[in-house]
Amino acid sequence: MQATTRLDFFSTMVLVRTYEEAILREYHADKKPVFDIGAGLIPGEMHLSAGQEPVAAGVCAHLTADDAVTATHRPHHFAIAHGMDLQAMTAEIFGRVDGLGRGRGGHMHLFDPATHFSCSGIIAEGYPPAVGQALAFRKRGTDRVAVAVTGEGAANQGAFHESLNLAALWKLPVLFVVEDNDWGISVPRSASTSIPSNAERARGYGIPGVRVEENSVEAVYAAAGEAIDRARAGGGPTLLEVHTLRLWGHFEGDAQGYRPDLEGAGTRPDPHLRGHPARRRRARRQQRHHHP
Ligand SMILES: Cc1ncc(C[n+]2csc(CCOP(=O)(O)OP(=O)(O)O)c2C)c(N)n1
Ligand SMILES: [Mg+2]
């Protein structure tokens, strides 16, 4: 792999993390003294993608703005990696009239015709529109592809399976991405999903399924590249699951009492790990508990 490609990955991931750290700061800034989710300049829920940057950077490196991306309620890493205008995106998150959706959608509903990007607060909602877009791309005789993203929790939704079936049947140019961050809100993967790898589900629809076990941008880039090349060449869809890491809470304000893996240093290494307010609060609580 070329050094410039690696540098591009790094720049994208650092941009995403820096952006989300700024959102994190602004989101909490006016919700004090007691966390009030409805208060401040960004009222409502906030789902940040910290830890999952390698998935977006590795996939979107193969795309142009002509390719479609449909993302989830945790959309910032994909929006930024796909080249969304940061001013318009930020204005939307702050509910401003100069935002992508005139400020009516907020952070879970970023619709951007310039980069063919959309996302939704309804889980697995990105899958069917990706199939529709891929059908349009094919009918127009282009080699454009659609990338649909969802979480491992949403992979149990009906829309996920219906989309795989139709895209497989019609050999549509779609890359279905599952971000397995081990959690659907507070529900561990093992309590929601009957098999350890969603990649196995691809076989049920007769399409290739790949699971990337490492949260590695290079591994994601390699697997996504193969799938996207195949889709552009008329070879049909692929299901790609990446075992990634949800570094922060499900949403901001989530105390994560259900996550034993955060008690110590964490079970999986994260080179970008920094102090998170929720984590620091939790540590202080524990200290008080141990040293009254
Ligand atoms: C159809 C639907 N059902 C339930 C919810 C509530 N909900 C929001 S996020 C979420 C869990 C999503 O987990 P996962 O797909 O693993 O994504 P992650 O949050 O881990 O990125 C649920 C159940 C919803 N938004 N839409
Ligand atoms: Mg999840």
- What's the pLDDT at 135? 98
- What's the pLDDT at 264? 52
Class at the top of the CATH hierarchy for domain 3-243: alpha beta
Whole-number mean pLDDT of the chain? 91
Distance 121 CA to ligand 2 centre (A): 14
Quote the CA–CA distance of 202 and 221 in Å, as a whole number.
Answer: 20
Query: What is the domain partition of the chain in residue ranges?
Result: 3-243, 260-290
Nearest listed ligand to the Cα of residue 150 = 1
Residue 270 pLDDT > 80: no
The band of 290, judged by pLDDT with boundaries at 50, 70 and 90, is very low
Q: Is the CB of residue 67 below 6 angstroms from any atom belonging to ligand 1?
A: no
The band of 16, judged by pLDDT with boundaries at 50, 70 and 90, is very high
Residue 274 pLDDT > 50: no
Mean pLDDT value of segment 3-24: 97
Mean pLDDT value of segment 182-193: 96
Q: Is the CB of residue 119 below 6 angstroms from any atom belonging to ligand 1?
A: no
Distance 185 CA to ligand 1 centre (A): 7
Residue 278 pLDDT > 60: no
CA distances from 276 to 74, 87, 94, 107, 213 (A): 18, 25, 22, 20, 25
The pLDDT tens digits for 218-248 are 999 999 999 999 999 999 999 999 999 999 9
Q: 278-284 contacts: CB < 8 A, separation 24 or more?
A: 278/248, 278/249, 278/252, 278/253, 278/254, 281/255, 282/255, 282/256
Residue 92 pLDDT > 50: yes
For atom 17 of ligand 1, the residue with the nearest CA is 151
**pTM here?**
0.91
- SS3 of the chain: the string is CCHHHHHHHHHHHHHHHHHHHHHHHHHHHCCCCCCCCCCCCCCCCCCCCCCCHHHHHHHHCCCCCCCEEEECCCCHHHHHHCCCCHHHHHHHHCCCCCCCCCCCCCCCCCCEHHHCEEECCCCCCCHHHHHHHHHHHHHCCCCCCEEEEEECCHHHCHHHHHHHHHHHHCCCCEEEEEEECCEECCEEHHHCCCCCCCHHHHHCCCCCEEEECCCCHHHHHHHHHHHHHHHHCCCCCEEEEEECCCCCCCCCCCCCCCCHHHCCCCCCCCCCCCCCHHHHHHHHHHHHHHCC
- Substitution candidate for ligand 1 out of 74, 123, 192, 247 with most atoms within 8 A of CB: 123
Mean pLDDT value of segment 140-152: 98
Q: Is the CB of residue 154 below 6 angstroms from any atom belonging to ligand 1?
A: yes
Mean pLDDT value of segment 54-79: 98
Ligand 1 atom closest to residue 125's alpha carbon, by position in its atom list: 1
